């Protein structure tokens, strides 16, 4: 994968975001690794 041109962000995928929100319900954690250009969106 080219770090200057990563594939579309999972943050734009509504199913992924919905499932991600279940982590809190089950007291799970999540380690996120992103490219620098994805950092701003990851923080939202």
Domain ranges of the chain: 10-42
Which residue from 19, 18, 20, 11 is spatially nearest to 43, judged by alpha carbons?
A: 11
Residue 1 has pLDDT above 70, yes or no: no
**pLDDT tens digit string along 17-36?**
899 889 999 999 989 888 88
Which residue from 31, 38, 33 is spatially nearest to 5, judged by alpha carbons?
A: 38
Distance CA 43, CA 13 (A): 16
For residue 5, name the pLDDT band (cuts at 50, 70, 90): low
Distance CA 15, CA 35 (A): 21
């Amino acid at each position: 994968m080219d770090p200057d041109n990563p594939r579309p962000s999972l943050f734009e995928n509504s199913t992924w975001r919905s499932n991600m929100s279940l982590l809190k319900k089950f007291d799970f954690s999540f380690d996120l690794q992103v490219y620098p250009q994805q950092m701003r969106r990851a923080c939202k």
